[in-house]
Amino acid sequence: QVQLVESGGGLVQPGGSLRLSCAASGNIFPIYVMGWYRQSPGQQRELVARIFTSGRIEYADSVKGRFTISRDNAKNTVYLQMNSLKPEDTAVYYCHEGKGTAYYNSDYWGQGTQVTVSS
């Protein structure tokens, strides 16, 4: 089993910053990709950023230049540094792991952490 535990969410004012962390444990290997998705009420879950084992990184257009994804392989942890936050960034943020290979991988999700951007 794979366990993904997120932390770092909270309430922040517009223009502020937060850093989310996702610690992976259990039978997590091989890792194909890890990343962050978010979901607002009434909306579908959407990709925010993800980082592949190859090193390739992808961002949603809405967060490019403001968010940075990184990983610490020694700690099996992935981070999401969020700067210049906007009210529209308000959502539950979920950590995701695609376990396997590019040809076949299984999805695992964390429980989610709430991010609220409001004055």
pLDDT at position 103, please? 87
Cα Rg, the chain, nearest whole Å: 14
Give the CA count within 13 Å in the CB-facing half-sphere of 60. Answer: 15
Q: What number of CA atoms fall less than 13 Å from residue 93's CA on the CB side?
A: 30
Per-residue pLDDT, 28: 86
The tokens describing 55, both together, are: 């090193």
Q: What is the pLDDT of residue 32?
A: 93
- pLDDT score at 104: 85
Please give the pLDDT value at position 107.
Answer: 94
Helix (H) or strand (E) holding 56: none
Give 10-residue mean pLDDT values along the chain (119 residues): 94 98 92 96 96 95 98 95 97 96 91 97
Tell me the two tokens of residue 51.
Answer: 């980082």
Q: Is 42 exposed, middle or buried (0-12, 13-18, 19+ CB in 10 A)?
A: exposed
Per DSSP, the three-state class of 40 is coil
